[in-house]
Amino acid sequence: MVNSVLNDIVESLQGLYSKWPGAKSYGIAELVRRGEGLVPGVVDDKGEIKYVGPDDTRPVISYHRLTGLNSTVAASYGNRLGDVVNTYSITLVVWMDRTKTKMSQDQMLLYIQANTPDFLKATTLSKKVIVRFTGAILNSQTVFNTEFAGTEFRLPAEKTMFQINYTLQVQFDKSCLKECPC
């Protein structure tokens, strides 16, 4: 379910990046083994992996990493008693070339934050979706070491990585999922 909800954010980011030809926004990535280290990759339904990390040909690349989930039952006024509210913790990892974007990390962070919708449209499975920014890590080495564990830090000064932490609060009716959503 979170993939379909995240598609709106991926499309929104791709629109923001349209000012930089070749920029790319990806969905949920996982860390996969490559050689001695780990790299970010999007895994499709067939188990095929597409590398989504830094690429010297692109001015901006971003991808999401699903990091956790908290679940509660809606019980407040205006909500249907028994609706499930899942709060997904997500990290948006952004790699960029400052010489191509003409922006610093904090400028890009604010640009993304200001243009990401606070609410996303409901899907066939979700009733309400709320986006909340919760923080950021602007230290390129820290982000690189997390995303490329086992790889020597090698980002030149004009390239940078940072991460934006946010949550997606998704409310849905359990009765809609009596059948497998596959």
Q: What is the pLDDT of residues 64-123, one digit of tens each?
A: 999 999 998 877 655 566 688 899 999 999 999 999 999 999 999 999 999 988 887 766
Whether this prediction's pTM lies above 0.85 is answered by yes
**Phi and psi of 5, rounded to 5°?**
-70, -40
**Phi and psi of 52, rounded to 5°?**
-130, 15
Buried residues in 145-177 as b, exposed as e (16+ CB within 10 A): ebbbeebeeeeeeebbbbbbbbbbbbbbeeeee
User: 66 - beta bridge partners?
Assistant: 90
Q: What is the pLDDT of residues 18-61, one digit of tens each?
A: 999 999 999 999 988 877 778 899 988 898 899 998 888 899 99
Look-up of token digits 């509210």? 85
